[in-house]
Amino acid sequence: MEYEGQICRAPMERSSFMLPIMVGCSYNRCRFCNLFRHLKYRELPFEQIEAELARVKNVGGNPRRIFLGDGNAFAQKSERLMRILEMIRKYFPDCEEINMDATVTSILKRSDAELEAFYKLGVRHLYLGIESGLDDVLALMEKDHDQGQAYEAIERLHRIGMIYDAHIMTGVAGRGRGTENACALAEFLNRTKPAHVVNFSMFLHKEVPLYQNILDGSFVPASERENLEEERCLIELLNADILYDGFHDFIEFRVRGRLPKDKEKMLARLDKVIEETPETEVYSYVQGECPALERCGGGSVWQCS
């Protein structure tokens, strides 16, 4: 596969055939994100996309799940995305689902007819960067949506039959606001019922725009202990049927399970690691390289699952 940049996809897509249809992220403005800032966004030509489909078919591949990369692939123009979906159907008629990252805005820009057409061609899971349950935090992070818009977009997906999976981020509200954010997120997730929640404890690179907010004092990061306490509060309040997966970079800790069935076991694991984590320690979140990269071989944490 010809691929530019680092692979970024949710853990649930680790066994999917990843089909690049673009380089970089079409939005690329989230203040905490450094995944695509070094790339110049561009759409890959249809000839290259079709050549990759043919290559996989010619070596005997018959993927049942396909993930379209890179960031915010759902924001492609409708005509272009339809052509790619039809191309996939031509090469892999047995494919059961085609999944990709999306934003709330990219969903709201679609008509119901367009959403229905995408569904008929196999689009099933959209991964949304919900991040926070607080509108002021979403605004600071330049998420380009508020909670009201997120409710509207997800309701439209549900009416069509699509599944939404939520990316959230402990620590995104900053020091002292973890419980507030956890309560707001729990209300949102209980109402919108994502199939999966991936919680990625905030990791900041010194090159992201949010670093300037740290320097000027307008954003004070939470410690990893606070992030763990926020995650515990969130899990305790979640009562919807959700597959939950929580990552942390600065400590080798991951909590996952099916809620509410596994809630008590997950809370017990969190209680243990919270007790072992110093209250005052603030990790070197701006020193450059992600500590998890050594553990995952240099790829994106989203790929390590």
C-alpha closest to that of 156 among 97, 80, 104: 104
CB 83 within 8 A of CB 36: no
- What does the pLDDT look like over 127-184, one tens digit per residue? 999 999 999 999 999 998 999 999 999 999 999 999 999 999 999 999 999 999 999 9
Q: What is the mean pLDDT of the chain?
A: 88
Spatial distance between the Cα atoms of 75 and 69, rounded to a whole number of angstroms: 11
Maximal C-alpha separation, the chain? 57
C-alpha closest to that of 124 among 161, 84, 79, 94: 161
Peptide bond into 144 cis (omega under 30): no
- What does the pLDDT look like over 63-105, one tens digit per residue? 999 999 888 899 999 999 999 999 999 999 999 999 999 999 9
- What does the pLDDT look like over 243-260, one tens digit per residue? 999 988 777 899 999 999
Cα 144 to Cα 40, 108, 135, 147, 182: the distances in Å are 21, 12, 10, 10, 21
Report the pLDDT value the prediction gives residue 93, as an integer from 0 to 100. Answer: 97
21 band by pLDDT with thresholds 50, 70 and 90: very high
CB 8 within 8 A of CB 35: yes
26 band by pLDDT with thresholds 50, 70 and 90: confident
Q: How many Å separate Cα 209 from the centre of its chain?
A: 19
